[in-house]
């Protein structure tokens, strides 16, 4: 390090503030807003959707190429880079394996616990159906559900609130570059996994698929860093990957592995990661992500096949499998395409309705139900209501189908329960969930059994007899008295005539409201499966109606329409595009349906977008997260960098007094988490930009390890920063004496000498493109003499939005 | 336009050259190189792989946001942007439909012409087999092939050489940002389509799939611009899309639609486009690309189903369909995975061998066979040799299989040819290519016929009897005497025992060398199908060997190994990753094989990359194209922008004398096709960068439409440039009088006032990332006072490459 002479012209007073010409004074804005908002109102938190929170920081997906970094990179030779590359592959394999194992764990535990619960409840109902006093059964069911959900809700609300929900919005934000505290911690993973098991077992209208994405991401973040903050263990491996860029890439792989394990959709997983996160497509990265996804579904498949006793069978690639759609029997014709498009419209409208209702509910929750105990109470209430609704619906439903007509299609029952259930003997069966042999060909519309020569194992459930006469089963119960995954598969594959239209209609209606109420509760749970279930129910209803209208013609197979309805409803709610199409294609194991599914999803998205945005985007916006979309609003060419930037901006000089640095870092109001470095020489061009120091690479270490020298001199290594990443000690934790404050520090070593800059005349779309494509955290705005006039950060770009009446600007809030 | 006072300090002499501190003098380099190279050697063109051609220009994927552009964008309101968006969708639909129709046209014409040819040849052979004098048959076959190929080669060599080959390297380059003349012209499309039909009919070892990608791209470029240069027609529509950025997006969609039509793989198509081209992933763009792909495969499917007489059947989504792989019968077990990996290794080695041989061949061709007539002669030679080899192989092969044993699996033959071929009556059949009903379940290894209850139509061919006794067929002929697509499907699906291992071995060997010789000929043709065919042949051989070794155990189905071999061979040759996996998955219509296919492709790529790079990349490099890979070489952190940039760079002043501008534009040696604009005021900071004019947006129009004014004043519109795009009139075509030379021109209106710049200390990877991610054409390098010191263009980045011994630098050549 060279010793620069101390320049007497440098005043040691306050900060260097430049660029006073700016028309936006950020701090003023915040101060105004703060005075407007009432402080910590006990019962109600005011909130609206046109706010942008200042509490979210940005991740830095641009390597800060400071001297330390460059020195290290230049030391590494070609062979060492190959080792790094091999490590990346190893990490991806580990991510895949662990994600697959976590999915197996969830699947097996849920299956056993849910089986146990339904066995207990069904036994109880069967007992009281004979003796009278069914209200006890209802009470038992509701209490069981509520208490299980209570545990699930308590761990989320009190231990790790970020584990609530599906985690998809959080992962979207993370991949977008927003730092959400605790989102990829081991503790979050544990709470998430336990929470999702408890929610599903608690009978809520939720799925266990969405949370797998979050779980995969946490696993990836943990493995790739070679340590755990929650466990306080550092394995001293993979240190090269301890920076935002590398971590993000692995988190993409983890999210993809999660999708892959959830739906058996490795390609869909890759596309999900790319669609939601990656802004820069890199062939090698994508290939690694795909590798992780494949390993994940393969692991799940292998372990589950061993668990189910038919090793090497490899027939369950995901947590949910839609079962086999046979494209000869269930092909579609061109005439059906308008019908599918109509279903897409219905799905879009219903999805928009779902989102709008959930919007009001969420707003209500943010305002009034913000205390953990209230959140737990609400979750318990929902659990109890769900059980009650299910019970009442099953009780009131008079849709008893003869078990004979249905089980002809299931000629052979294996798994220790070959005998048909008779009377109340249900409790003695070892497991309520059974494996059936069923004919591979779904019976045709006339109800004739298919040829039984090619048997195929699909996961199904023995139809429950509840409240029906012997030899009959309750078709409402096949939908309600079951985990939602199995209900979806039943709706897809049960032969025509298994459900009465009234049952399906009532089920759709009730489940729609239940699912809508459930999403956003403080429990770990996903919305994919409930959406599919609602859609499958009305889709099947639609198919049955068509069948009536066309006098039972062969093409109106209700299972096919259930699939299209499910796609339409899910598309209408989440509004994903390519990735969802591929996920659905892979989950059906059939590429023939690709075209109609695409049409349905496209229509649902267009129609839905007309009314209200997608559920995940809506929640991101309600959280006031500064999320950057793909492009700047189309009509924003009239804005320039000068108008959007934050100014004045706090700059540091290349050689700066330690006291000044400490003061700047301590003052949160002027802290942009990154500081342009300007030339120290005291001529007219003092403000000329010559570098950039993000606070993450800021030499906190310098202060920690400081020696009593006139210039802080200990040679820092990149390792010092890597060991601290990602939680650098706050400046407040360091005591700096008065003497030390007078020392000078040379920032040359820590600053990035070639930060990206834009001229102040650049239009907003241009700034946006640069910022988004390179994943920046700070972008320095300079004039044509390269003098710093301001800085563009994430919130400056995220606050412009295309509203109904054109460009609108969000207010900044401290919440 | 404001009138700036003429500044007397501006000298009207030569150019403003600045940044003399640079250590690279580009022009010197070129001059040196030129003197080294002998001028237009008549017989041999010296060439080596370490050259970078200067003749390729760059496309500009960054919008030049000059005043005209911004004014227009600001005028357009929200609704108008929605109209633009709808137009984009309409264009994508049209791209899909037209690409599908072109694929149908190729398919139908090839099928009929090839059928005709084989009928004639077979009739002739049958006749001479009885009478003796088979050399006449050979002569007929060879002459037929050679003359058809001659026509195909002549049109390519003399009319449009860019239509040669598969077109995939060209489209890769286009999407990468390299301007290749004529690559997306209508004329190229016509030659490509005719050429590919003639090549396939001419019996070369080629496929018609690769060229579909190029065809789709041309269709997309044509439609999106709303005019055709070849036809000299301007439809005055879609004028908004007349710039490189928009055109590139549509070309991506076209390429994807081409893949989709070729392989029935819409998702694979999207991934191909992204993997090869897009550097910036945008959800809406991807979704549109997917839409075009889906429409394309759907169009092809519908038209072909109508053509084949079973409308609405939708069973042929692509030009090649691998047929149905039944995942119950042909599932894989975990024990097989090491075997698949081994096959991947074999594929990688064979692929590397193929590429290495083709490398030497291509080098030879560049040096010696560069005259069109020689190219035509070579193509004819290859055609004749291919026919001869086929004939001799069929003749010498004593692999006659009883037709009985095989046709048991084809119980029902439809299509007007139900009778079995007997004797020489072959000519009277209406079409040699027939439709069979075959059992859906491929017979098991023991050769027992599957249960015939579920019939399925697959396209197959009646086994030819050639040189075999009545009631037998020649199994070598099923591979050779057929279009390669059908041979591939036969190898995948013919029941075990259809081929003798000797036949397969000989076939693999001969076809390997033929395909290798064929790739790079001056004909339109793809390498996908020959690669698949080679792989399927050795894969099947491998499967049969395994079957022998394991005493015919059920899992060693030769069809499955043929598929894995095909994947391995193709992966070893082209080295595509995710997109190829998905294409293979979609072509088999089966997601179960995803994991083994991925493993095989990954192994083949890793092994192949160890020896030599992929075929397409190799050809791109042999053409000395400045292709930018995903990332800068890993060890290039030691280079900075200062070291890689071109300097001195020709700058223009904001107000410049017309004569100076004309001189600069006329002087090709100093023309970087883009000029930094510097401040005109004559103080110390004269070289301060204040904008950038690419020559494409340079006011040629100004000179064309000039008036006799002291300052050129006619108000230009963006439309003027759009009408001229992409072929702006060269400056030499404009006569500028001496008076006009003295006029001053104000560039403020045309220049981009906020060009991307990098400081001269930025490392090469950093510069590369900015350049690649934003698709730039020019990147101005400035010092810390914002003064221009140099410029980075594509060739400056492309010339650094990671060789065997670390970083190497390519020489620049004018070739």
Helices (H), ranges, B326-441: 337-368, 372-396, 403-407
Separation of first and last alpha carbons in chain A? 43
Read off the pLDDT of residues A390-403 as tens digits, 9 standing for 90 and up.
888 888 876 777 76
User: Among A311-315, A436-440, B195-199, B557-561, whose mean pLDDT is lowest?
Assistant: A436-440
DSSP calls for A668-729: GGG--SEEEEE--S-STTTTBEEEEEEGGGS-HHHHHT--S-SB------HHHHHHHTT-PP
pLDDT at B181: 86
B754 contacts A766? CB cut-off 8 A? yes
Which residue in the block uniquely carries the two structure tokens 């927003």? A178
As a whole number of angstroms, the distance between CA A19 and CA A790 comes to 6
Q: Kindly tell me if the per-residue pLDDT of A354 is higher than 90.
A: yes
What's the CA gap between B561 and B549, in Å, rounded? 15
Contacts of A644 in chain B (CB under 8 A): none
pLDDT tens profile A132-160: 777 888 888 899 999 999 999 999 999 99
Smallest CA-to-CA distance from A795 within A672, A666, A616, A691 is with: A672
Q: Considering only CB atoms, which chain A residues are within 8 Å of B758?
A: 754
The half-sphere exposure of B62 on its side-chain side, counting CA atoms within 13 A, is 28
Task: Give A640's contacts (C-beta < 8 A, 6+ positions apart).
Answer: A760, A761, A762, A763, A764
pLDDT for position B40: 47
pLDDT at A74 over 70: yes
Q: Identify the pLDDT of residue A283.
A: 77
The CB density around residue A119, as the number of other CB atoms within 10 Å, is: 18
Highest averaged pLDDT of the listed ranges A512-516, B7-11, B625-629, B806-810? A512-516
DSSP of B613-637: --HHHHHHHHTT-----SS--TTGG
pLDDT higher than threshold 50 for residue B444: no
Q: Smallest CA–CA separation between B577 and chain A, in Å?
A: 7
Rounded to 5°, the CA angle A802-A620-A63 comes to: 90
Q: Say if residues A788 and A797 touch (Cβ distance below 8 Å).
A: no
Substitution target in B328, B453, B594 with the highest count of A β-carbons within 10 Å is B594
Q: For testing the chain B interface, which of A773, A774, A801, A808 should be mutated: the one with the most B CBs within 10 Å? A: A773
The order of strands in the sheet holding A788-793 is: A757-759, A778-782, A788-793
Q: Which residues of A touch B274 (CB under 8 A)?
A: 274, 281
| Nearest residue in chain B measured CA to CA from A298 | B595
Judged against a pLDDT cut of 70, whether residue B80 lies above it is answered with: yes
Q: What is the mean pLDDT of residues B691-714?
A: 53
Residues B383-392 have a mean pLDDT of 90
User: How much of chain B, in percent, has pLDDT values that exceed 70?
Assistant: 77
Torsion, Cα A38 A39 A42 A47, to 10 degrees, reads 60
Give the pLDDT band of residue A730 (cuts 50, 70, 90). low
Q: Mean pLDDT over residues B65-86, rounded?
A: 82
Nearest to A29 by CA among A57, A58, A51: A51
* pLDDT reported for residue A275: 81
CB of B252 within 8 A of CB of B278?
yes
Bond preceding residue A726 cis, omega within 30 of 0 = yes
CB contact under 8 A, B594 and A454: no
> Cβ neighbours of residue A743 under 8 Å, at least 6 residues apart?
A657, A658, A706, A709, A710, A711, A712
Size of interface A-B (CB pairs under 8 A): 222
Query: Cβ contacts of residue A606 below 8 Å, gap of 6+?
Result: A348
Across residues B263-278, what is the average pLDDT? 85
Cβ atoms within 10 Å, residue A357: 15
User: Does the pLDDT at position B569 exceed 70?
Assistant: yes
Q: Which comes out higher in pLDDT, residue B419 or B334?
A: B334
Q: Look at residue A528 in the predicted model and tell me its pLDDT.
A: 92
- Give the integer Cα–Cα distance in Å for A592 and A601: 15
Report yes or no: B352 and B573 within 8 Å, Cβ to Cβ: no
Residue of B nearest to A268 (CA): B267
Q: Which residues of A touch B287 (CB under 8 A)?
A: 577-578, 602
Average pLDDT over chain B, rounded to an integer? 77
pLDDT > 90: percent of chain B: 26
B759 phi and psi, to 5 degrees? -70, 155
In DSSP terms, A412 is beta-bridged to: A437
Q: Which two tokens stand for residue B393?
A: 């192989």
For the segment A475-504, what is each residue's pLDDT rounded down to a tens digit?
A: 777 777 777 888 888 888 888 777 888 888
DSSP letters for A472-525: EEEHHHHHHSS-HHHHHHHHHHSPTTSS-HHHHHHHHHHHHHHHHHHTTSSSB-
Q: What is the pLDDT of residue B8?
A: 34
Residue A630 to residue B284, Cβ atoms within 8 A: yes
Average pLDDT over residues B680-700: 63
Burial of A228 (0-12, 13-18, 19+ CB in 10 A): middle
State the best of B80, B456, B578 to mutate against chain A, taking most chain A CBs within 10 Å: B578
* Residue B216: half-sphere exposure toward Cβ, Cα within 13 Å: 43
What tokens does B5 get?
A: 């006072």
What's the pLDDT band for A245 if we cut at 50, 70, 90? confident
| Spatial separation of the C-alpha atoms in residues B574 and B618, rounded to whole Å | 10
Using a CB-CB cut-off of 8 Å, the residues of chain A touching B280 are 279-281, 773
Can you tell me the mean pLDDT for A155-171?
A: 91
What's the topology of domain A16-26+628-813? Answer: CBS-domain (3.10.580)
pLDDT of A753 reads 85
DSSP bridge partners of A792: A779
Lowest-confidence range among A169-183, A406-420, A737-751, B297-311? A406-420
Residue A232 has pLDDT above 90, yes or no: no
Percent of chain A whose predicted confidence (pLDDT) is above 70:
77
* Beta strand pairing call for A412-414 and A435-439: antiparallel
In this structure, which topology does domain B81-307 adopt according to CATH? Clc chloride channel (1.10.3080)
CB contact under 8 A, A630 and B331: no
Residue A554: both structure tokens together: 């062969």
Supply the pLDDT for residue A108: 93
Nearest CA in chain A to B84: A634
For the segment B644-656, the average pLDDT, to the nearest whole number, is 83
| Cα diameter, chain A | 98
pLDDT at B455: 30
- In this prediction, residues A16-22 reach a mean pLDDT of 36
User: What was the pLDDT predicted at B100?
Assistant: 95
Question: What per-residue confidence (pLDDT) applies to B729?
Answer: 65
| pLDDT for the residue numbered A281 | 65
The pLDDT, as a whole number, for residue B474 is 76
C-alpha–C-alpha distance, residues A282 and B175, integer Å = 14
DSSP state of B50: T
Specify the CATH number of the domain A78-307.
1.10.3080.10
For A599, the closest chain B residue by CA position comes to B291
Q: What is the dihedral of CA B435, B436, B440, B441, to 10 degrees?
A: -130
All residues at 6 or more sequence positions from B69 whose CB lies less than 8 Å from its CB, including other chains: B63, B718
Provide the whole-model pTM: 0.85
B753/A761 CB distance under 8 A: yes
Q: How many residues does chain A have?
A: 815
pLDDT recorded at residue A534: 95
B630 vs A284, A581, A762: nearest CB = A284
Confidence of residue B813 (pLDDT cuts 50, 70, 90): confident
Burial class (CB in 10 A: 0-12, 13-18, 19+), B807: middle
| pLDDT of A682 over the 80 cut | no
Query: What average pLDDT does the structure give for chain A?
Result: 77
What is each CA distance from B685 to A586, B66, B649, B761, in whole angstroms? 62, 23, 16, 20
* Topology (CATH) of B16-56+628-813: CBS-domain (3.10.580)
Which residues in chain B have their CB less than 8 angstroms from residue A317's CB? 591
Quick check: do A16-26+628-813 and A78-307 share a fold?
no
The span from the CA of A194 to the CA of A211, in Å, is: 11
| Chain B partners within 8 Å of A441 (Cβ) | 454
- The winner for highest mean pLDDT among A387-401, B22-36, B208-222, B265-279 is B208-222
Contacts of A286 in chain B (CB under 8 A): 275, 577-578
Helices (H), A156-209: 168-176, 186-201
- Work out the number of other CB atoms within 10 angstroms of the CB of residue A233: 11
| Predicted confidence (pLDDT) at residue B350 exceeds the cutoff of 80 | yes
User: Is A328's CB within 8 Å of B454's CB?
Assistant: yes
Looking at residue B212, its pLDDT comes to 93
Q: How confident is the model at residue A17 (pLDDT cuts 50, 70, 90)?
A: very low
Q: Indicate whether B696 pLDDT > 70.
A: no
Higher pLDDT: B680 or B677? It is B677
Cβ B281–A286 below 8 Å, yes or no? no
Which of A79-88, A708-717, A748-757, B623-632 bottoms out in mean pLDDT, i.e. has the lowest?
A708-717
CB distance B524 to B156 below 8 Å = yes
Please name the residues in contact with B513: beta carbons below 8 A apart, sequence gap of 6 or more. B357
User: Nearest Cα to B751, choosing from B810, B700, B690, B800?
Assistant: B690
**Rounded Cα gap, residues B504 and B211, in angstroms:** 28
Comparing B648 with B257, the larger pLDDT belongs to: B257
Q: Pairing relation of β-strands A757-759 and A778-782?
A: parallel
Report residue A703's pLDDT band, with 50, 70 and 90 as the boundaries.
low
Going by DSSP bridges, is the β-strand pair B233-234/A16-18 parallel, antiparallel, or unpaired? unpaired
Classify A633 as helix, strand or coil.
coil
What gap in Å lies between CA B520 and CA B3, rounded to an integer? 57
Question: How many angstroms separate the CA of residue B595 from the nearest CA in chain A?
Answer: 6
CB contact under 8 A, A802 and B78: yes
User: Domain residue spans in chain A?
Assistant: 16-26+628-813, 78-307
More confident residue, A214 or B754: A214
| Residue A234, pLDDT above cutoff 70 | yes
Q: Name the residue among A211, A187, A186, A188 with its Cα closest to residue A199.
A: A211
**Residue A571, pLDDT above cutoff 90:** yes
Instruction: Count H helices and E strands in chain B, helices first.
Output: 28, 22
Bridge partner list, B57: B179
Which of the residue ranges A126-130, A378-382, A435-439, B457-461 would you say has the lowest mean pLDDT?
A: A435-439
Nearest to A516 by CA among A501, A505, A531, A503: A531
C-beta separation of A393 from A480 below 8 A:
yes
Structure-token pair, residue A727: 């939680």
* Residue that is written with structure tokens 């061009």 in the block: A685
């Amino acid at each position: 390090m060279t010793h620069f002479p101390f320049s007497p012209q440098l005043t040691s007073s306050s900060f260097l503030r430049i660029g006073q010409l700016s028309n936006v004074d950020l701090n003023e804005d915040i101060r105004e807003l703060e005075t407007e908002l009432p402080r910590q109102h006990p019962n109600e938190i005011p909130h609206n959707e046109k706010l942008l929170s200042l509490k979210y920081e940005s991740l830095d997906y641009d390597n800060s190429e400071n001297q330390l970094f460059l020195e290290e990179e230049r030391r590494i030779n070609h062979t060492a880079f190959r080792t790094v590359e091999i490590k990346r592959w190893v990490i991806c394999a580990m991510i895949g394996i662990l994600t697959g194992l976590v999915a197996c764990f969830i699947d097996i535990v849920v299956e056993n616990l849910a089986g146990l619960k339904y066995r207990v409840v069904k036994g109880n109902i069967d007992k009281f159906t004979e003796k009278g006093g069914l209200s006890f059964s209802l009470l038992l069911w509701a209490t069981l559900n509520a208490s299980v959900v209570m545990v699930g809700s308590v761990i989320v609300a009190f231990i790790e609130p970020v584990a609530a929900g599906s985690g998809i919005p959080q992962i979207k934000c993370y991949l977008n570059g927003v730092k959400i505290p605790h989102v990829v911690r081991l503790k979050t993973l544990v709470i998430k996994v336990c929470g999702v098991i408890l929610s599903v077992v608690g009978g809520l209208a939720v799925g266990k698929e969405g949370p797998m994405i979050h779980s995969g991401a946490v696993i990836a973040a943990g493995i790739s860093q070679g340590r755990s903050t929650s466990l306080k263990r550092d394995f001293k491996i993979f240190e090269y990957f301890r920076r935002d860029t590398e971590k993000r890439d692995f988190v993409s792989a983890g999210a993809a592995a999660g999708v892959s394990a959830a739906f058996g959709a490795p390609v869909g997983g890759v596309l999900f990661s790319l669609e939601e996160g990656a802004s820069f497509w890199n062939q090698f990265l994508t290939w690694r992500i795909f590798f992780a996804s494949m390993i994940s579904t393969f692991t799940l498949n292998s372990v589950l096949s061993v668990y189910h006793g038919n090793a090497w069978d490899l027939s369950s690639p995901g947590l949910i499998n839609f079962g086999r759609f046979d494209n000869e029997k269930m092909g579609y014709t061109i005439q059906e395409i308008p019908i599918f498009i109509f279903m897409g419209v219905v799905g879009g409208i219903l999805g928009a309705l779902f989102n709008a209702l959930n919007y009001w509910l969420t707003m209500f929750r943010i305002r009034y139900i913000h205390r953990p105990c209230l959140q737990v109470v609400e979750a318990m209430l929902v659990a109890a209501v769900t059980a009650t609704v299910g019970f009442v619906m099953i009780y009131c439903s008079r849709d008893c189908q003869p078990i004979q007509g249905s089980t002809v299609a299931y000629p052979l029952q294996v798994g220790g329960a070959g005998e048909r259930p008779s009377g109340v003997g249900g409790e003695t069966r070892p497991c309520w969930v059974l494996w059936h042999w069923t004919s591979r060909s779904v019976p045709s519309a006339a109800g004739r059994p298919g040829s039984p020569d090619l048997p195929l194992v699909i996961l199904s459930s023995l139809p429950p007899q509840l409240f029906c006469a012997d030899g009959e089963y309750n078709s409402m119960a096949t939908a309600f008295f079951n985990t939602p995954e199995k209900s979806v598969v039943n709706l897809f594959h049960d032969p025509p005539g298994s459900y009465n239209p009234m049952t399906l209609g009532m089920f759709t209606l009730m489940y729609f409201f239940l699912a809508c109420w459930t999403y956003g509760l403080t429990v770990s749970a996903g919305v994919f499966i409930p959406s599919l279930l609602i859609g499958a129910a009305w889709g099947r209803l639609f198919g049955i109606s068509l069948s009536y209208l066309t006098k039972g013609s062969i093409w109106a197979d209700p299972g096919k329409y259930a699939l299209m309805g499910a796609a339409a409803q899910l598309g209408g709610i989440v509004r994903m595009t390519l990735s969802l199409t591929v996920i659905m294609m892979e989950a059906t194991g059939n590429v023939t349906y690709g075209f109609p599914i695409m049409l349905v999803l496209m229509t649902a998205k267009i129609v839905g977008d007309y009314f209200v945005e997608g559920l995940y985007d809506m929640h991101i916006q309600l959280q006031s997260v500064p999320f950057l979309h793909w492009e700047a609003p189309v009509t924003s060419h009239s804005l320039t960098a000068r108008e959007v930037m934050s100014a004045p901006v706090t700059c540091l000089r290349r050689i700066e007094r330690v006291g000044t640095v400490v003061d700047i870092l301590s003052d949160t109001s002027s802290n942009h988490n990154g500081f342009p470095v300007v030339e120290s020489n005291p001529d007219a061009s003092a403000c000329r930009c010559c570098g950039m120091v993000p606070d993450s690479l800021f030499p906190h270490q310098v202060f920690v390890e400081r020696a009593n020298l006139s210039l802080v001199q200990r040679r820092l290594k990149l390792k010092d920063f890597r060991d601290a990443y990602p939680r650098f000690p706050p400046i407040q934790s360091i005591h700096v004496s008065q003497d030390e404050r007078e020392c000078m520090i040379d920032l040359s070593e820590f600053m990035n000498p070639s930060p990206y800059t834009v001229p102040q005349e650049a239009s907003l779309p241009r700034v946006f493109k640069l910022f988004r494509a390179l994943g920046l955290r700070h972008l320095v705005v300079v004039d044509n003499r390269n003098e710093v006039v301001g800085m563009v950060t994430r919130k400056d770009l995220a606050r412009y939005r295309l509203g109904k009446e054109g460009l609108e600007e969000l207010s900044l809030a401290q919440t």
